Amino acid sequence: MIEMQTELAIAPGARVQARDEEWIVRSVRRESASAEAVHVVGVSELVRGREAIFLTDLDAVEVLLPEETELVEDDSSTYRKSRLYLESLLHRTPPTDNRIHMGHLAAVDQMDYQLEPAAQALSQLRPRILMADGVGLGKTVEVGILLSELMCRGKGRRILVVAMKSILEQFQAELWARFTIPLVRLDSVGIQRVQSKIPSNMNPFHYYDRVIISIDTLKNAGKYRQYLEECHWDCIVVDECQHVAMRTKTRTGSGSQRAALGNLLSQTCDSLILTSATPHDGSATSFASLMRLLDPTAIADEENFTREDVKHLFLRRFKKDVAYQLKDIFPEREDETLRIQAGVQEDAFLEAIQEATFETISSKRGGGGVLFRTTLLKAFLSSPAACVATLEERLRHKRLQVDDLEGEERDEALADRATLESLRDLASAVTKPLYTKYQQLLKLLREHGVKGKVASDRVVIFSERIDTLNYLQEHLLADLKLKPAQIEVFHGTLNDQKQMELVKDFGTEASKVRILLASDAAAEGINLHHQCHRLIQFDLPWSLITMVQRNGRIDRYGQKGVPYIHYMLLQSGSAEVQDDLRVLERLIEKEAQVTKNLGDAACLMNVHEHAERESISLERAEEKEIALVIQGERVAEEVLPDEPRAAGGNGEPDWFQDIFGGVTEESGLDVTPVPSLSLFRDDLAFANEAFAETVDTSSTHVRPLDDLQGFEIAPPDDLVQRYEYLPRELLKDRARFRLTIDRQRVMDGLDKAR
């Protein structure tokens, strides 16, 4: 008789040991008559969360049987080993409810409203949420809280953060310093570093588990789409998510590159976090596209849905809604409107532009000449230099090259060239001593001492024209006797490294930068408040939304001083011109009203239908409405009413008001943190006991520091090797770490580092 020796089968769910590490079996597949492929996920510390495949004919895979567990008496003092083992199990046990267990322990001033998005997201089977709070309320902190909760639940091993290139370093630093979440920054330099280490055919997103990258880098479908399709993430964060919303349609019927990227990312993750202070562009379809990224089944009809359909997917509050929590954190801002009387030369240009006509400019709808006059006026209100640049650009237009034209077209071109050259001469006549707005700016800067040694004396100056920024940089350097390093220009054409460098320098006390001249590329997302509490709007944007975004750079959560906002408003001696410009003063008044009472800047001007009809942004629609007032075709009080009006006027409900309007009810979310279950007084006591048990008393690797409420660690060689998988920029000093449980000390250290 032949005896068959049966081997113990390796079943899914079994705990095994291979290569001296412990694993849990996910699946087993027969590869040959003598070998099986065992798919596992790591359990022991070195490989925890890592996936691997072992072939039984190459690796010894030993099944760890519970019945073979050897019980050993704990002979340590006060049963220290047992207590440490049980405590480690408590730390590794993931929460199973939707309460706050970890996020409130971050190095932040705890605010209940910042815990609510995490509580709402965790109540879902797959945590997915749009954090749509107003400008400056701390959405990055809300993201960090939710990520911390997901990580302690085992749902945040692989994290991808997609953000604008200007805020990559800022976002990375906030999550590391406040939440100890290490994100490897794959900017233009970081990607090159990774690709130089790995084979050309290897997916760079498999190399690191936690990554932050620019949306403009990822939108390159030809270069990165295949890599992204092959990846799966536990959680993806898309900051400023309005950029991945479905806006206008292309001829092929597909959306933009960014919208296609958003759709792809939503399918490659379990948890999805979207953030935006402007989560809609006036289009129901556009907002529905964001909701469908979170839950494809939430909306049946993208043009006809209600708040009930989507309220579980987003949370939107404004400063006014949480003011009772922020009274000691958010200093009340002070505004000043500087009404500057135009000089003789400036009035001469303003009157001339009122009378100018243009023969060669037309449009399908007519009124092209009036529109161009408005364009020139807006450029002049920015600066004479910007206006001259606009005029010279028009003079180079092919329809004005008289040598190439004949007959009536040539006569029209000659007439327009004469008008444009006359306007250019008038604008050029406004030299620096005669440029009243610039002289007022000089006076303002001298009064507030930007040359002083006090770091908080620095100032940010906004203008939407790069020609104006360059003009200001050139002349302020000379007139204020500043060094070149003391004044910098930020605009959208700078590469990611330069943008991040400028933001970091402006927020660092030791930096020499005192004046940051910024285009509206800096009006979205970046923090300029760390060493600055004074902002000057040198020219006014013709958009309420943009004005609020600009002010939010310093009037935001974390501002320690009183924010001062200065508006520079040119006033003409011509009654007709001044009547046209009065709408800009009303724009300033309405911004203050929105900030204090309304919250949502997008609702006041009510341009949602206009934006949707013409497939343009809300900001662009607002600019068009202001332009119509200046052209005399609309009334300022109609375009900028005292209170928001319902759209439409045909008796049909307005989707915007239904979703966002007047929603003030309490969230009903329980944000009371859950007390931790522990056998020790606190984490420090646990760590001290653990080191006392495992580290030799003569070792210099660990040194307790009572004044720090923590200890100092000199990492051993095997830990240093792990640095390869951590962000380089987050490990400035690799010799020793200082760890503490004192949150306030961490926040003070972060301020000191700046």
Residue 566: beta bridge partners? 336, 536
Output the pLDDT for position 158: 92
Residue 607: beta bridge partners? none
**For residues 488-496, average pLDDT:** 89
Torsion of CA 347, 535, 640, 381, to 10 degrees: 20
Helix (H) or strand (E) holding 380: helix 368-382
Least confident piece of the model among 408-417, 422-431, 649-658: 649-658
Output the pLDDT for position 364: 42
CA dist 416 and 720 (Å) reads 71
CA dist 236 and 239 (Å) reads 10
Fold of 103-326: Rossmann fold (3.40.50)
Q: Please report which confidence band the pLDDT of residue 306 belongs to, taking 50, 70 and 90 as the band edges.
A: confident
* Token output for 643: 């209170």
The answer to whether the beta carbons of residues 629 and 636 sit under 8 Å apart is yes
Question: Within 13 Å, how many C-alpha atoms sit on residue 714's CB side?
Answer: 7
The answer to whether the beta carbons of residues 607 and 639 sit under 8 Å apart is no
CA dist 399 and 417 (Å) reads 10
Mapped onto helix, strand or coil, the DSSP state of residue 697 is coil
* Token output for 602: 């997008």
Residue 369, pLDDT above cutoff 70:
no
Model confidence over 172-208: pLDDT tens digits? 989 998 999 999 888 777 777 777 777 877 888 888 8
* Whole-number percent of the chain with pLDDT over 70: 91
Residue 564, pLDDT above cutoff 80:
yes
Where are the domains positioned within the chain?
15-68, 103-326, 345-429, 683-753
Output the pLDDT for position 452: 60
Output the pLDDT for position 470: 95
**For residues 410-428, average pLDDT:** 90
CA dist 748 and 478 (Å) reads 37
* Token output for 476: 């302020």
* Token output for 339: 């009404």
Output the pLDDT for position 487: 93
Helix (H) or strand (E) holding 422: helix 407-428
Model confidence over 661-710: pLDDT tens digits? 655 556 678 888 998 889 999 999 999 899 888 887 677 788 888 888 88
CA dist 227 and 194 (Å) reads 14
Residue 642, pLDDT above cutoff 70:
yes
Least confident piece of the model among 211-220, 384-393, 429-438: 211-220
Residue 127 CA, chain-centre distance (Å), reads: 20
